[in-house]
């Protein structure tokens, strides 16, 4: 199956095939996916931290990026529970990313990812 998804004026091709072949989002597409989920969860990242997250999720699907954002909100909430400053720090992002194992890594034998579609 092939789906076309529009994220903030960016057309994203999503390929879901029974034999496990799929394409991963490009850098621009990952940025759009992060923007959608950060906005949805009312999470604010400065540009440096957002670019770090984008660079370190190269083999992540859109759903995995969504889970990174969910993790980020939870990790930050727990860390800052008794603090006035609720700012997200690099360690929050690193931990949120580490908690998600991308399918491109965990199922190398079963799946073939095409990499970003240019």
Q: What is the pTM of this model?
A: 0.76
Residues in the chain where the model's pLDDT stays below 50? 1-4, 11, 15, 112-114, 117-118
| Tokens 């004026």 found at | 9
- Of 84, 104, 105, 86, which Cα lies nearest the Cα of 42? 86
| Count of CB atoms situated within 10 Å of the CB of 111 | 15
The whole-number pLDDT of residue 105 equals: 82
The two counts, helices (H) then strands (E), for the chain are 5, 4
Q: What pLDDT score does 83 carry?
A: 94
Please, which residues bridge with residue 6 across strands? 11
**Cβ pair 5, 98 in contact under 8 A:** no
Instruction: Give yes or no for a contact between 38 and 64, defined as CB atoms under 8 angstroms apart.
Output: no
Q: How far apart are CA 87 and CA 44, in angstroms?
A: 8
Cα 50 to chain center, whole Å? 10
């Amino acid at each position: 199956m092939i789906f076309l998804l529009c994220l903030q004026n960016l057309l994203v091709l999503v390929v879901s095939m029974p034999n496990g072949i799929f394409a991963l989002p490009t850098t621009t597409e990952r940025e759009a996916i992060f923007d959608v989920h950060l906005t949805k969860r009312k999470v604010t990242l400065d540009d440096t931290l957002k670019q770090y997250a984008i660079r370190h999720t190269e083999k992540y699907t859109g759903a995995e990026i969504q889970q990174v954002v969910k993790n980020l909100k939870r990790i930050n909430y727990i860390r800052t529970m008794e603090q006035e400053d609720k700012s997200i720090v690099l360690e929050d992002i690193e931990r949120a990313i580490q908690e998600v194992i991308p399918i491109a890594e965990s199922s190398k034998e079963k799946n073939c990812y095409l990499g970003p579609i240019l």
